[in-house]
Amino acid sequence: GNSVTQMEGPVTLSEEAFLTINCTYTATGYPSLFWYVQYPGEGLQLLLKATKADDKGSNKGFEATYRKETTSFHLEKGSVQVSDSAVYFCALSALTGANSKLTFGKGITLSVRP
């Protein structure tokens, strides 16, 4: 079946540091890949997505490239801010029957210090 593996956390960085959060996946067919973010006290929000191999998703300075050869979708940001402190979830979606469902990684907590 489909699965998503994220690097273990939590991650603590200083403001303006470079961020990489690793995500790898196992899937049959041609999944779409997503990063969702959960800020304290809020629901899951889509951060970015990529729907086919070599696509790059980007939003709010975050980027991730869909790498089919390494089955990865690592999240990067060049300079993190305190406001980026949140839980980050990697997920994949594959069409199954009438609709699709998301398969999530475990999530990783990012804390950014001023």
Partner 1 sequence: EPEVTQTPSHQVTQMGQEVILRCVPISNHLYFYWYRQILGQKVEFLVSFYNNEISEKSEIFDDQFSVERPDGSNFTLKIRSTKLEDSAMYFCASSPLAGAGDTQYFGPGTRLTVL
Instruction: Tell which one of 45, 81, 83, 109 touches partner 1 (CB under 8 A).
Output: 45
Cβ nearer to partner 1, comparing 5 with 17: 5
Question: Binders of partner 1 among 22-41, rule CB under 8 A?
Answer: 30-32, 34, 36, 41
Residue 53 touching partner 1 (CB under 8 A): no
Instruction: Tell which one of 56, 68, 101, 113 touches partner 1 (CB under 8 A).
Output: 101
Tell me the CA distances in angstroms from 92 to 39, 58, 76, 84, one per residue in order: 20, 16, 18, 22
Strand runs (DSSP E) across 1-107, as ranges? 3-6, 11-14, 19-21, 23-26, 32-38, 44-50, 56-59, 62-65, 75-77, 86-96, 99-104
Residue 105 touching partner 1 (CB under 8 A): yes
Q: What are phi and psi of 82, to 5 degrees?
A: -55, -35
Question: Binders of partner 1 among 58-87, rule CB under 8 A?
Answer: none
Q: Report the interface residues with partner 1, using CB under 8 A.
A: 30-32, 34, 36, 41-46, 49, 51, 89, 91, 93-107
